[in-house]
Amino acid sequence: MVLEVQRKDSRGYFVVPQAPEDAGYYVYGTPPGGGGQFAHSSMMSALLRVEREWQAIDHRKFGIGNISLADGLPYPKHSTHLSGLEVDIRPLRKDGAEVAVRWSQAGYDREATAKLIALFRTFAPVVLVYFNDINIPNVSPLAKHDDHFHVKLRT
Ligand SMILES: [Zn+2]
């Protein structure tokens, strides 16, 4: 067993645990290895809570992507991801594969994705969700949000 030293940045933010085997989520994004997953403590609690709730209702893992870079440095192509309170999450796929899917594709699982978004709303202080599948209640469409939804939290 390899013990990973938990990385902490100048804000005191830790990197999301890099998806241990029994976790209800997997990680993706750039840079790899969690380099873009420095999370505010409010975000960390929310993700781990949602993960627990999700595991109780579904055996598939959901994908956690970019949050913020160490020290809140500017994030090329992810300009809003500075505070550690914003996260990109992949929609669920019917086959459970741990890869991207667009909401307009056949492999996309709307029902499961709607459940996951509802868990965030129930168990985390959600400010808004950007996602282009507007069949899901209370999401706001935004360019390029076809293969992930973006959750913004309060502290
Ligand atoms: Zn985003």
Domain boundaries, the chain: 14-153
79, pLDDT greater than 90: no
Instruction: Give me ligand 1 centre to Cα 66, in Å.
Output: 7
- Conformational region of residue 46, where left means phi above 0, alpha means psi within -120 to 50, and beta covers everything else: alpha
Count of CA atoms in the C-beta half-sphere (13 A) of 38: 20
| Architecture of the CATH domain 14-153 | 2-Layer Sandwich (3.30)
Separation of CA 14 from chain center:
15
pLDDT tens figures, 31-74: 999 999 999 999 999 999 999 999 999 999 999 999 999 999 99
Instruction: Give me ligand 1 centre to Cα 73, in Å.
Output: 15
Instruction: Give me ligand 1 centre to Cα 146, in Å.
Output: 11
Quote the pLDDT of residue 5: 65
Instruction: Give me ligand 1 centre to Cα 24, in Å.
Output: 20
Quote the pLDDT of residue 120: 98
- Hunting for tokens 């959901």 — which residue is that? 62
Instruction: Give me ligand 1 centre to Cα 1, in Å.
Output: 33
Instruction: Give me ligand 1 centre to Cα 151, in Å.
Output: 7
Among residues 98, 86, 108, 9, the alpha carbon closest in space to that of 59 is found at: 98
Quote the pLDDT of residue 20: 80
The pTM score is 0.94
Cβ partners under 8 Å of residue 59, min gap 6: 96
The strand ranges marked E within 13-84 are: 14-15, 25-27, 38-39, 62-64
129, β-bridge pairs: 151
What is the spatial distance between Cα 19 and Cα 125, in angstroms, rounded to a whole number?
Answer: 23
pLDDT tens figures, 92-145: 999 999 999 999 999 999 999 999 999 999 999 999 999 999 999 999 999 999
